[in-house]
A and B are shown apart, each in its own frame.
Chain A
Amino acid sequence: MPASALQGVYLSLVSGIGYGLIISLLAGGLSLIYGVMNNVNTSHGAFYMLGGFLTFFAVSSLHLPIVLSITFAFAAAFGLGLICLYVLIPRTMWVSSDPDSQNIVMILFLALAQVLQRGVFILYGGGSVAVPSILFGSIALPGDVFISYQTVISIAISILCYAALFIFLRDSKIGKAIRAFSQDRELAEAMGVRVSTIALMTFGLGVSLAALSGALLSSIYSVTATTGWNELVIAFVIVTFGGIGSISGSFLGGLVYGIVYSITQYYLPAYSFVIALVLIYIVLITKPTGILGEIIERA
């Protein structure tokens, strides 16, 4: 293999790991929501977009420092998520194993995504916005490969978030309740775990992870009001790769997707998204009961 090709793979690996770790936060949120609530959040991509715009709003209108702005976006998405779930979704459908209810919830979330995207479009127009980097400049890696401080910091924040999420789910009272609830709903309810608290916490946390992912990536790439649909599909792909309801699976799935995407983007930039999706589709149809086990039903 020529030296330039090797450097291309190396560069793609580095940027793919960075992108994959940040986008895996988005997938982690989707996985958490499905794993606990049994509902696919089709507005997840819209919350990703909202993360970028909330950070931009905090920086440009509230004049907050960038780190505080990202924190603001995380907290605001959490609050907005709670309000949306509380107002939009009938309480009996918050956690449901009935396919009809799940479909209705998916359609309601899809309508919510439309409203959020059009709402942002009305407020900010169709142009793209980008938030400033936390730190400017770049680090030189061996082999003449440069990686920006912003990417390094975003990777560090993603890893910290995963660590915090693991500790929260493992050690906190609510985290333990969430895990118990996802394993055996009836038994958890019998032990005093409240469905509404678990659903609200899970949904709030899930969408705020999506918003955090959007906030971090909007300083590397820009974000527009119509951003979010590709990201929803990407999150779904990562979740099915890593295993539904598995946070560590989302972490690994995100890494795999990020690397595949970056390598295809290096060699065939126009088709990177399409090739990544087609490759994953081939995996889905050739190994339908393996990675996907849970999403197959008898037909």
Chain B
Amino acid sequence: MKGLESSSHTPWPSRINIRDINFIIFLVSIASSIIIFLADKPYLKFIMMYFFAYSIYTASWDLLYSYSGQLSLGQAMPFGLGAFFTIMLTQLAKLPLVPSAILGTLAAAAVGGSIGATTIRLKPGYQGIALLLFSQVLYWLSLIAYGEEGVSIFTETPPSETTIYLTGLTLFVLSMFAIYMIHNSNYKLKLLAIKGDNLAADVCGINVRFHKVIVLYLSSLLAGLAGTYYGIFTSHADFSIFAVPNSFLPIGMAIIGGIGFLGGPIIGSAVVSVIINILPIWYSLAITYFAYGIIVILILKLRPTGIMGFLQRSARKEKSKVAKG
């Protein structure tokens, strides 16, 4: 691990590779977001708000699963907590929206990370079910406490649509850039070592528990941030935010986009945001989610690396063609 430690001082900017397909997708998604903002199409803007929240949410699950090998089947827990805490702070403490959002996100990260930390000794499958157990507990508690109607944001000066959109875009850029940096850092190698073999990583001097917990807190922070943003642009949160289908959402989006790639959550959440907002125009919501489940199964069966795997293979083929002349 000496090699890892010594090379970890590479300056951040040198890690950015503008030919990297992940980075290209990141840039394209920013450009598309700006174009849609300038085009001023309200419905497209609304879909893009879903996209911002979902891509951060999916990246939070992917960070946990792809990098450290920890499986969460209850990612809706930090996501829902972010939304609930933020809305409750505006309602009960009568705090302005921005401090509520910051405190709500941090509280979601603290609670989600702390609960997750109690499960790190379990095998991934069981860890997944243990986290599912907690999201089910929160599902029932929120139903008992706030009923089916849930809670709504209380603010005297609601933010404009433009402010919400640009905030979403900023959060998206910052979160994805942070993930991109982790993706191209030596820290990722430490996490992959933990994922590959806990014991071997421990023997090599990596503090396995510490890094697993750090990733859990990071993942909860991102999921909490996504939930906070989701709660703000929908102005509402209820018990269904903790439901299992909501925990399945980031898993499915990561699979569709491609697990372990930065571009995976971006592409996956773009595809799903369009599907779940466009399909219900013609079909029921049940048919939409039925189709979503089928798509996830088909991709996992036929192309487990997702759309990113396909794009990366095509790019590699193209490169070798150019090299051959």
Q: Which residues of A contact B (CB under 8 A)?
A: 39-40, 42, 88, 90, 99, 102-104, 106-108, 110-112, 114-115, 118-119, 121-122, 229-230, 232-233, 236-237, 240, 270-271, 273-274, 277-278, 281, 284-285, 288, 295-299
On whether the beta carbons of A42 and B73 are closer than 8 Å, the reply is: yes
Cβ distance B295 to chain A, nearest Cβ, rounded Å? 9
Cβ distance B152 to chain A, nearest Cβ, rounded Å? 23
Cβ distance B279 to chain A, nearest Cβ, rounded Å? 12
Q: How far is the CA of A119 from the CA of B294 in the complex (A)?
A: 11
Which residues in B have their C-beta under 8 angstroms from that of A121?
Answer: 286, 290
- The contact sample of 9 A-B pairs, CB cut-off 8 A, is A40-B128, A88-B301, A103-B65, A107-B255, A111-B248, A111-B252, A111-B297, A229-B244, A236-B129
On whether the beta carbons of B123 and A110 are closer than 8 Å, the reply is: no
On whether the beta carbons of A106 and B118 are closer than 8 Å, the reply is: no
Q: How far is the CA of A102 from the CA of B123 in the complex (A)?
A: 10
Cβ distance B254 to chain A, nearest Cβ, rounded Å? 9
On whether the beta carbons of B297 and A115 are closer than 8 Å, the reply is: yes
Q: How far is the CA of A288 from the CA of B209 in the complex (A)?
A: 16
* For the complex of A and B, 3 pairs with smallest distance between CB atoms: A118-B290, A114-B293, A115-B293
- B113 interface residue, CB < 8 Å from A? no
On whether the beta carbons of B123 and A233 are closer than 8 Å, the reply is: no
- B121 interface residue, CB < 8 Å from A? yes
Q: Which residues of B contact A (CB under 8 A)?
A: 65, 69, 71, 73, 118, 120-126, 128-130, 132-133, 136-137, 140-141, 144, 198-199, 202, 208-209, 212, 243-245, 248, 251-252, 255, 284, 286-287, 289-290, 292-294, 296-297, 300-301, 304
On whether the beta carbons of B301 and A122 are closer than 8 Å, the reply is: no
Cβ distance B131 to chain A, nearest Cβ, rounded Å? 11
Name which residue of chain A comes closest to B126, CB basis.
A295
On whether the beta carbons of A277 and B136 are closer than 8 Å, the reply is: yes
Name which residue of chain A comes closest to B304, CB basis.
A104
* Known contacts A103-B71, A104-B300: A229-B136 contact under CB 8 Å: yes
